[in-house]
Structure 1
Amino acid sequence: MILRTAATLLVSTLAMQLHAAPLSEQQIQFLGPIPTYNSIKPNNTAHQSKIIQTLLPRLQSSSDALSVFGNDIEWQSLADINALTLPGMQALKFNFSTTRFVQGKLKISGVKKAHVFLNGALLSGNESYDLYAATGDHQIIVVTEQVNNWNDVSIDYTPSSEHDQITLHNNKKIALSAKQLFDAPTISALSISPNGRFYITTERHYSDLNGNTPVTDTLLKQQDGTTIYRLDGVTASNTAWRNDSKQLAYVQDQQLKALNLSTMTTEVIAEKLDGASGFEYFDDTTLIFSWSNSPSDSNSLVKHYQGLEDRWSYERTNTQIYLLDINSGLINALTEGKLSHHLEDHDAQRNTILVSRTLQDYKAPPHMLTELLEIDLADGKQTQLGSYRTFNKARYAKDGLYIVAGPDFAGGIGKALPDGMLANNYDGQLFWLDKTGKNPKPLSKNFNPAIGEVKVLSNDDAVLLVTDKDTKQLYLFDKSKSHFKQIDTGLDVVDKFDITHSNKADLLVAGTQASVPQQLKRISVSNNKTRLLWDSQKLAYKNSDIAKLEEFNFTNKSGVEIEGRVYLPHDLDKTKRYPALVYYYGGTSPVSRAFTGRYPFNLWAANGYVVYVLQPTGATGFGQKFSAQHVNAWGENTAQDIIDGTKAFTQTYSFVDPKRIGNLGASYGGFMTMLLATKTDMFSASIAHAGISNITSYWGQGWWGYLYSGEASKNSFPWNNPTLYSQHSPVFHADKIKTPLLLIHGDADTNVPPGESHNMYTALKILGKDVELIEYKGANHQILARDRRFQWWDTMLAYFDMHLKDQPQWWEYIYKK
C-alpha cells in the first residue's frame, strides 16, 4: 500500500502475506489544485473526458511546473500535502519500472472520482484497476475529483504473483518504449527551393488521442528556419518549385494552387483533377504531371486475366503525361495509348521529355521489358532510346543521360563478376548514354555501394543516394573525373534528401544513426559545411536511455568478412547470462542502421535482450560479387553465415546464454527463419513474419513472385530446376524442425500470400510440432497501423519472453486471457 504518511509501497503475493517496500516521499508527485477560468468545473460539462485527455500530455511531460490560465502550479511530493479538500481537479503522478511483464491490481482509496492513465492509456475501473505492464519504465497519472480528505488518499498495488513486482523511481533516464519510438515526431517529407532561400518540411507524429491517424504539419520556412506559411493538408514531397523559386504549386482540398512567394498570395489553377499527381514546373508558365484513369469493373462475375501483371490491382489503370498551361488552365496530353507512360525527366530548353513504359514480355528474366523514349513536344515525335530488361530510372544531363539499372544493363556492360556468375540486378549501378541514347558506358563497375536515387547538378555532376553496406549515404559523382566522393552527412541512414539547383549546391537531408534519432540538416556539397535545423532527440528522446552499440564482424568459411552489430541491454552486468535475438535481411537489401523501424532493435535491447544483426552473403551494398551470391541460392550461403555468425557471436559475448537464443526475419528473412529451423536446433525459438515456405507457390502466386524470382531464381523454373524449387523450400523439410516456431502474416498480404505461412503451419501441426500462427486482419506485407504495430511488437517480445526467459505470462495475457 502506498501511504502518504508512511511513504511505503505495500506489495502482496498470492501465496504470501503483504510486505512493505520502502518508498521515498518524492516518488509520488502531486499537482493541484488545477485552476479553471471560472466556476464551472470539468466534471460539470458534457466533455469532461475530452478535457482531461487534452490536459494529459502536459501532465505527462511537465516535470517541475505547469502553467494553467496564467497560473504556474508546481509539482510537489504527496507527503507535503496536508489538506482536507481542494477545489477543482488534482493530479498524482509516479514512475515505476519492471524487469518482466507484470500484472496486478491498482487500488485508489479516498477518491470518489479518478481518471487513471497508464502510459497515456485510460484504465477502466472504479477504485480498483487492472494493471498490466511489459518490461521497461512506465508512468501512472491519476486525475482526481471529489476528494473529501486528502489525508485518507492512498494507493495500493497488489501483484498477481510473486513475480509481478514493480519498482517506483524518479530516474531522469528511462528506457525506450514502443510508444516513444512510433509516436515521436519525424520529418516525413521535405523539399528545398532551387535557389536555397526556402525549404518545406512535413513533420509527423502520433498520439493516443488521434490513434492511427498521424498528426502532420507542413511548414514553408525561410533559410534561417523562420516559418512564413503553413500548408495544411499538403505533404512537402507533393509540392513543386518554379525554377526561379518565386512560385510554389501544390494540391490542397482538391484544388491545384500556386503560391506567390513575393506577395504570399495564392491562386487556384485548376480543380478536381482526380487521379493527377507528380506536378512539376516544366517552365515558368506550365506544369507537367501524370494523370491516371482507373476503369470501372464491368464484370462482377469473372476476371479474365490478360497477363501475369493482371494480378496487380492497379494494372488496368492507365497513366499518361500531361501539360497544364497555368494562365489559361488548358491541359494537353503528351502521351497516349494502351501502355502507361511514366515521366522520367523533362527539359524545357530542349522541349523534350523522357518517359518509360513497360511491355508485356516474358522471354527472359525478370520477365518484363522497359522501353525508354524521348518525346519532342514540338511535333510529338517519339524516339526510342532503348529497351532493357533491367531499368530503374533515367535523368537528363547537359551532354547525355544518367541511367540507374542493374549490372545487366545494355548487354551486361555493368557487370564486375567472375565468368559464370549471374548478376543480382537489385544491386543498382550508374550508366551514361549520349544524347541519342547510344554509346552506353558503365560508371560504377568498381563502386561497391548499390545506387538508388540520382539528382543531376547544373555542371552534369550528380548527387547519389546509395546503399553502402548497412548504411544509406550520399555521394557526389564528379562527371569530369569519373570519381565518387562521399558527402559527410554525419548520418548512418539518409531517409530523404533534396538539393538546390546550382554548381555549389546545398542539400536538405533528414536521417538517423543507429543510436541517434532523426535529425534534419543543411549541408553544402562544395565544402561539407553542415547546419543542424531540427533534432528529434531534443523533442522526444532527451531523457531516454538508448542501448550501447558495438560492431561485430567475423570471417565466413569462404574467407569473406561478414559485418554485423550488437545492441546491448541497459545496465549490462557481464557476470550474468542474457538471452539474445538474431536478425538478418529480408529480400536482398542489408539490414539498415536506422534508429528505429519495423523491427526496433533498440527496443529489444531495452527489454533485456542482446541483439545481434548481421549482413549475410547476398546483400546489396557490399559489391557485385557479394550480392550475386543471392542468385539461385535461396539460403544456401546465407544460412551458413547466420549459423556461423551466431556461433562466433556467442563465443565472443560470454554473457550471452547460447541456450536462450531466438531468431527472426521477415519476407525473405521469414523464409530464412523457416529454412534455418530445418538445418539447426541452435535457436530456442524462432519467428517468421511473412515468410516463404514453398518457393514454387510464391513464384506463381505472389504479386511480384515471378519478378523477384527472375533475379533470385534467374533462369531457373520448376520444370528445369525442380531441386531448387523443392529442396530449398522449407516446407519440404518440415519434419526436421525441432525449434518452436511462430508464424506471423497479414491476411491481405499480396507480396508473400498468407498461404505461405499456412503451408508450414499445416505441416507442423500434422507433425505435432510446437507452432503458432498469428494473422493480422486486413494487413498487407507490412504491419503499419499504430494499434497493430504495438500489438505486433508485443506479440514478438511476448513470444520470446515465453521461450527465452521462461516467462509465459505476457503471451498468455495477449492470447489466452
Structure 2
Amino acid sequence: MILRTAATLLFSSIALQLSAAQLDEEKIQFLGPLTTYNSIKPNNTAHQSKIIQTLLPSLQSRSTSLSVFGTQLKWQKMSDIKALTMEGIQALKFQFSTKRFTQGKLVLTGIKTAHVYLNAELQTGKNEYDIQVPTGDHQVIIIAEQVDNWNEVKIDYTPKAEHDQIVLTNKEQHALSAKQLFDAPTITAISQSPNGQYYLTTSRHYADNTGNTPQTETLLKNEESKILYRFNGVNASSVAWRADSQQLAFVQDQKVMLLNMKDFSTQVIAQNLDGASGFDYFDDNTLIFSWSKSEESAHKLVKHYRGLEDRWSYARANSQIFLLDLNSGLINALTEGKLSHQLEDYNAQRNTILVSRNPQDYNAPPHMLTELLEVHLSDSKQTLLGKYRTFRTAKYAKDGIYLVAGPDFSQGLGRTIPKDMLANNYDGQLYKMDFNGKNHEAFSKQFNPSISAIDVLKNNDVVLKVIDEDKQQLYLFDESKSRFSNIESGLDVVENFTTTSHSKHHEILVTGTQASTPQQLKRITLKNNRAELLWDSKDIAYQYSDVATLDEFNFTNQSGVQIKGRVYLPHDLDKSKKYPALVYYYGGTSPVSRAFTGRYPFNLWAAHGYVVYVLQPTGATGFGQTFSAEHVNAWGEHTAQDIIDGTKAFTQAYPFVDPARIGNLGASYGGFMTMLLATKTDMFSASIAHAGISNITSYWGQGWWGYLYSGEASKNSFPWNNPTLYSQHSPVFHADKVTTPILLLHGDADTNVPPGESHNMYTALKLLGKDVELIEYKGADHQIFARDRRFHWWNTMLAYFDMHLKDEPQWWQFIYQK
C-alpha cells in the first residue's frame, strides 16, 4: 500500500512536470506585419541572422509603436490578431517574473520559422526552447517569418518542476539584472581644458553581440555639452591640453598627434614610441612623458631572482622621463640609470621636475624605500629631497611641495595615535615641505578621512580625493586658513575628477555614484560649491528599474566605538515574511564603498530576495588614525568580533531577517575574514571566500605584494619573532573547528593572493570531511573582470547561497552538475 502511494505520487509529480499551459495572449504583445521594402524576406538572404539582430533593439524598446520603411505600426495584444497570413515578418513580445531559479520549455505552435530571444540572447531550438532564468524579470521576443494561420499560433510553457512556474506581467518597472548592471553605459575617463571651455569623456558599454569586448567612445564637447570631435582608440585620461586650451596632444595607433582646436586638424609628431605613456605639456612647445623598455633575459631556462621585486612581471622594465620637442620631433632624456624613475610633477617656471625611484631596501616596514628627487633640466643636476617609507605622491606648490604619505612620514610627523600603537600607513595624510626638502609640516592630523589623491590649484589650495568613512569624497584644503571643507558633489563615491583654473573661477569635473543611484557626470564650481548635472546613466539604462531601499545601520562595539553600516532591502519587501540575509565586509584595509554597483553588487543581491548588511569593522581607513591602526598586527582579532556582534545587532533590529538563514562573504582580506569566522562561529549558514588568505605565512612569502602588505598588517612581526600571530591567526590552523558550508573562489592566475591559499583550506576541509567547494576561474587574476566570467561568478555566488539559504539547489546543480 505504501509502495502504491509512493508510485502514485511519483506519477503525479511527473505528470505535473510534463503538463504544458498556454500563455495568456492578453499579456503577449504583437507587432506586424513588418513589411520589407520589397518582396525579399530576411530568410531569403545570406544575412538573415544579422538582419534579425539589427531589428532586435527596436523591438526591445518600451515604445508603443515602431516606424518601418515609413509605415507606423503599433503594438497590440496577441489575442486581438484575427488574420490568417501576413506579409513580411511579425514580432511577439512578453515579460515574465520569477521568484527563484526557474527551468522549463517554451513550445511554439504554428510558426514555421522563429527567432526566439530571451533577455536579448538568441535561443537554440526548432519549436521547443529551453528556459533557464534566475530570480527577476525577463523578456521574450519572438520574430516570426513563416506563419500559415495566425489563428493556430500558440505559445505554451512547460515547467520542469512544480516550482518552475512563470508569471506573465505587463508591469512597467522591473528588478535590476546582472546584465543591466554590467552592460550599462559608464564614463570611465574624463579630462577638462585649462580654460574650462571644453571637456572630454570616454564612455564604455557592453552588449551580447560583442561579448567581452567593450564598445568605447571618446567625445570632445564644449561647455554646453555639444559634441565637437570624436576620437577612436583614445582614452580621455591620456589626452593632454596646452595651457591656452587651443591644442591637445594624444596617442592614437602608436602615433603621437596634435589636434588644433581652431579647425580640428591633426598633425603627427612622432610614431612607434613603444612603451611611451603619460604625455603632458611641459610648456607650449614640449611634451613630457615616461618611456619604458623591458629587459631581455639572457637565460632561457631559468630566472635568477635579484630581489623580492622580481616576482613582479614588470620589475625589470626600465622607465625614464623624456621631453619631446614639438617643432623638431627631437626626444631628450631627463633621467637615466638602472633605477626606474616615476614622474610626480613638473614646473616649467623652475625648469625642474619631481621624480621618485625605489632603490632596493628591505630594512624597515613596509620593506620598500622611496627616494624623492628634483631634477634641474638645465644641467641635469639631481637634488635628493628625502628618503621615505610611506610615500604616496608629491605635487608642486607655489612655495614648496605638497606630499601625501602615511602617519609615520618624517619620523611620525602625522601621527595622532598613542605612542604604544603602530600606525596604519595606508591612512594617507597631507604634508608640505620647502623646495629643499626641509621644514616639513603636517596638515591633516585632525582630519579623519584618508587622503588618496591631490591636485594643486593655482592659488595654492589643494583638491583632495579622500576615503571619508564609507564614502569617497572631494575636499578642498584652504592653505591660508589651514582648513578642510567638503566639496558638495552630491555623490557618495567620486570615481574620477579633473580640475581647471581660469580667470573666472575654479571648476571640477567629476563622475560618481550614490549607493542607490547609478553613475552621473557633474561640473562643480568651487566659488559657490554648486554642482551641475551634465550626464545621468539613470535616464539611459535604469529609468524603469526597481532599486533596493537603503537603511543606515550602526551599532556600538565592545570597545564602545561606533561601527557604521548599511542595509539593502529588496524593493518588494514584505515585512510579514522571513528573509535570508547576506553579510559583507571590507578587504584590504579600505572600507566597503557605497558605489551603486561593482564586483560585489549589493543592489543585485537585494533584487534576488536577500536583505544585505554591509558593515565597516575595526581597522578600516577613513574613520581616523586610531580606528585604522587597530588593523595592524590584528589579523581579524577585532574585526571578527565586530562582524559577529554587528550581525547579531542587525538580526535584532530587522525581525523579518531569518537568523537561521544568514550567509557571509568577503574577498582578499575579506576572504581571509570569511575563513577565520568559520573557525570562530557557527552563526552563518553558508560562507563564501573569494581570493582569501588561509595561511598568513605563505601569503607573506609568496604573493606579489604579500610582503609589502604584511609590512603594515603585520608590522615588525615575522614568522621567526612572532610565530603565534602567523599560525594562530591563520584559518587553516583551525580548520577542524569549521562547521559552516564554505565555498572557496579563486582566479588560478591570481598574483596578489596565490590560489594556493584556497588550496590550503580546501585540502584541510576535505581531509576533515567538511562541506567545502572550490571553484577556480581559469586565467583570472585577483579580480574577475571579463564579462562572461563576471556573470558566471555572480551566478555562482548567488546559486550557492540559494542552495544553502533558500533550500533551492537547482541553480547550483544546473551550473555545476548538468
Bucket of the pairwise TM-score, normalised by the shorter protein: over 0.9
Q: Residue 717 of structure 1 aligns to a residue in which SS?
A: coil
Question: CA RMSD of the aligned region, Å?
Answer: 1.2
Partner of 1:53: 53
Once residues 246 and 37 of structure 1 are traced to their aligned partners in structure 2, the CA distance between those partners, rounded to angstroms, is 48
* Alpha carbons 2:322, 2:332 under 8 Å: kept: yes
Structure 1 pair 328–38 and aligned structure 2 pair: CA distance change class (3 A): farther
Once residues 729 and 345 of structure 1 are traced to their aligned partners in structure 2, the CA distance between those partners, rounded to angstroms, is 42
What amino acid is aligned across from residue 620 of structure 2 in structure 1? A
1:626-637 aligned within 5 A = 626-637=627-638
Structure 1 position 21, deviation (Å): 7.8
Q: Residue 367 of structure 1 aligns to a residue in which SS?
A: coil
Q: Residue 739 of structure 1 aligns to a residue in which SS?
A: coil
Partner of 2:287: 287
Once residues 726 and 294 of structure 1 are traced to their aligned partners in structure 2, the CA distance between those partners, rounded to angstroms, is 39
Partner of 1:320: 320
* Alpha carbons 2:278, 2:290 under 8 Å: kept: yes
Once residues 586 and 15 of structure 2 are traced to their aligned partners in structure 1, the CA distance between those partners, rounded to angstroms, is 47
Q: Residue 191 of structure 2 aligns to a residue in which SS?
A: strand
Partner of 2:116: 116
Structure 1 position 742, deviation (Å): 0.1
Structure 1 position 52, deviation (Å): 1.3
What amino acid is aligned across from residue 524 of structure 2 in structure 1? I
Mapped pair 1:523 → 2:540: no
Structure 1 pair 187–13 and aligned structure 2 pair: CA distance change class (3 A): farther
Once residues 215 and 519 of structure 1 are traced to their aligned partners in structure 2, the CA distance between those partners, rounded to angstroms, is 19
Partner of 2:806: 805
Mapped pair 1:423 → 2:423: yes
Q: Residue 14 of structure 2 aligns to a residue in which SS?
A: coil
What amino acid is aligned across from residue 612 of structure 1 in structure 2? Y
Partner of 1:739: 740
Partner of 2:674: 673
Mapped pair 1:713 → 2:702: no
Structure 1 position 186, deviation (Å): 0.4
Structure 1 position 53, deviation (Å): 1.5
Once residues 705 and 215 of structure 1 are traced to their aligned partners in structure 2, the CA distance between those partners, rounded to angstroms, is 35
* Alpha carbons 1:705, 1:751 under 8 Å: kept: yes
| Structure 1 residue ranges without an equivalent (≥5) | 1-11
Partner of 2:405: 405
* Alpha carbons 2:20, 2:159 under 8 Å: kept: no
Q: Residue 356 of structure 1 aligns to a residue in which SS?
A: strand
Once residues 465 and 222 of structure 1 are traced to their aligned partners in structure 2, the CA distance between those partners, rounded to angstroms, is 25
Once residues 445 and 13 of structure 2 are traced to their aligned partners in structure 1, the CA distance between those partners, rounded to angstroms, is 67
Once residues 136 and 550 of structure 2 are traced to their aligned partners in structure 1, the CA distance between those partners, rounded to angstroms, is 19
Structure 1 pair 22–488 and aligned structure 2 pair: CA distance change class (3 A): farther
Once residues 761 and 20 of structure 2 are traced to their aligned partners in structure 1, the CA distance between those partners, rounded to angstroms, is 50
Q: Deviations over 1:509-548 (max 9, x none)?
A: 1000000000001110110122111000000000000000
Q: Deviations over 1:584-621 (max 9, x none)?
A: 00000000000000000000000000000000000000
* Alpha carbons 1:457, 1:502 under 8 Å: kept: no
Partner of 1:468: 468
TM-score, length-scaled by structure 2: 0.97
* Alpha carbons 1:430, 1:442 under 8 Å: kept: yes
Structure 1 position 15, deviation (Å): 4.0
Partner of 2:330: 330
Partner of 2:102: 102
1:454-465 aligned within 5 A = 454-465=454-465
Structure 1 position 419, deviation (Å): 1.6
TM-score, length-scaled by structure 1: 0.98
* Alpha carbons 2:17, 2:158 under 8 Å: kept: no
Mapped pair 1:594 → 2:595: yes
Number of residue pairs the alignment of both structures matches: 806
Structure 1 pair 13–236 and aligned structure 2 pair: CA distance change class (3 A): farther
Structure 1 pair 104–398 and aligned structure 2 pair: CA distance change class (3 A): same
Runs (4+) of structure 1 exceeding 6 A deviation are 17-23
1:730-809 aligned within 5 A = 730-809=731-810
Mapped pair 1:254 → 2:251: no
Mapped pair 1:608 → 2:602: no
Structure 1 position 16, deviation (Å): 3.0
Structure 1 position 35, deviation (Å): 2.7
Q: Residue 539 of structure 2 aligns to a residue in which SS?
A: helix
Mapped pair 1:269 → 2:269: yes
Q: Residue 126 of structure 1 aligns to a residue in which SS?
A: coil
Structure 1 position 671, deviation (Å): 0.1
Structure 1 pair 296–73 and aligned structure 2 pair: CA distance change class (3 A): farther
Q: Deviations over 1:312-343 (max 9, x none)?
A: 00000000000000011100000000000000
Once residues 774 and 68 of structure 2 are traced to their aligned partners in structure 1, the CA distance between those partners, rounded to angstroms, is 50
Once residues 218 and 71 of structure 1 are traced to their aligned partners in structure 2, the CA distance between those partners, rounded to angstroms, is 35
* Alpha carbons 2:429, 2:445 under 8 Å: kept: yes
Q: Residue 94 of structure 1 aligns to a residue in which SS?
A: strand
Mapped pair 1:558 → 2:556: no
Structure 1 position 37, deviation (Å): 2.8
Once residues 811 and 348 of structure 2 are traced to their aligned partners in structure 1, the CA distance between those partners, rounded to angstroms, is 62
Once residues 531 and 21 of structure 2 are traced to their aligned partners in structure 1, the CA distance between those partners, rounded to angstroms, is 51
Paired-residue identity, %: 73
* Alpha carbons 1:690, 1:754 under 8 Å: kept: yes
What amino acid is aligned across from residue 653 of structure 2 in structure 1? T
* Alpha carbons 2:31, 2:76 under 8 Å: kept: yes
Once residues 413 and 38 of structure 2 are traced to their aligned partners in structure 1, the CA distance between those partners, rounded to angstroms, is 78
Q: Deviations over 1:703-738 (max 9, x none)?
A: 000000000000000000000000000000000000
* Alpha carbons 1:116, 1:142 under 8 Å: kept: yes
Once residues 426 and 135 of structure 1 are traced to their aligned partners in structure 2, the CA distance between those partners, rounded to angstroms, is 40
* Alpha carbons 2:23, 2:155 under 8 Å: kept: no
Partner of 2:692: 691
Once residues 600 and 391 of structure 1 are traced to their aligned partners in structure 2, the CA distance between those partners, rounded to angstroms, is 32
Q: Residue 100 of structure 1 aligns to a residue in which SS?
A: coil
Mapped pair 1:365 → 2:374: no
What amino acid is aligned across from residue 188 of structure 2 in structure 1? S
* Alpha carbons 1:109, 1:155 under 8 Å: kept: yes
1:22-37 aligned within 5 A = 25-37=25-37
What amino acid is aligned across from residue 816 of structure 1 in structure 2? Q
Q: Deviations over 1:719-768 (max 9, x none)?
A: 00000000000000000000000000000000000000000000000000
Structure 1 position 45, deviation (Å): 1.4
Structure 1 position 570, deviation (Å): 2.0
Q: Which moved more, 1:565-574 or 1:668-677?
A: 565-574
* Alpha carbons 1:13, 1:158 under 8 Å: kept: no
Mapped pair 1:567 → 2:594: no
Structure 1 position 22, deviation (Å): 9.6
What amino acid is aligned across from residue 374 of structure 2 in structure 1? E
Structure 1 position 13, deviation (Å): 6.3
Partner of 1:8: none
* Alpha carbons 2:249, 2:258 under 8 Å: kept: yes
Once residues 48 and 716 of structure 1 are traced to their aligned partners in structure 2, the CA distance between those partners, rounded to angstroms, is 67
Structure 1 position 20, deviation (Å): 8.8
Q: Deviations over 1:138-197 (max 9, x none)?
A: 011111111111111101100010010100001111000000000000001000101100
Once residues 404 and 375 of structure 1 are traced to their aligned partners in structure 2, the CA distance between those partners, rounded to angstroms, is 20
Structure 1 position 62, deviation (Å): 3.6
1:83-162 aligned within 5 A = 83-162=83-162
| Structure 2 residue ranges without an equivalent (≥5) | 1-11
Partner of 1:355: 355
Once residues 71 and 300 of structure 1 are traced to their aligned partners in structure 2, the CA distance between those partners, rounded to angstroms, is 68
Q: Residue 292 of structure 1 aligns to a residue in which SS?
A: strand
Structure 1 pair 433–30 and aligned structure 2 pair: CA distance change class (3 A): same
Once residues 242 and 803 of structure 1 are traced to their aligned partners in structure 2, the CA distance between those partners, rounded to angstroms, is 59
What amino acid is aligned across from residue 806 of structure 2 in structure 1? K
Structure 1 pair 20–275 and aligned structure 2 pair: CA distance change class (3 A): closer
Structure 1 position 61, deviation (Å): 2.0
Q: Residue 391 of structure 2 aligns to a residue in which SS?
A: coil
Mapped pair 1:344 → 2:359: no
Once residues 358 and 47 of structure 1 are traced to their aligned partners in structure 2, the CA distance between those partners, rounded to angstroms, is 58
* Alpha carbons 2:584, 2:613 under 8 Å: kept: yes
Q: Residue 125 of structure 1 aligns to a residue in which SS?
A: coil
Partner of 2:656: 655
* Alpha carbons 2:17, 2:162 under 8 Å: kept: no
Structure 1 position 300, deviation (Å): 1.8
* Alpha carbons 2:16, 2:161 under 8 Å: kept: no
Once residues 39 and 425 of structure 1 are traced to their aligned partners in structure 2, the CA distance between those partners, rounded to angstroms, is 73
What amino acid is aligned across from residue 44 of structure 1 in structure 2? N
Q: Which moved more, 1:700-709 or 1:523-532?
A: 523-532
Once residues 751 and 13 of structure 1 are traced to their aligned partners in structure 2, the CA distance between those partners, rounded to angstroms, is 50
Q: Which moved more, 1:227-236 or 1:43-52?
A: 43-52
Q: Deviations over 1:37-66 (max 9, x none)?
A: 333221111111122122212211243112
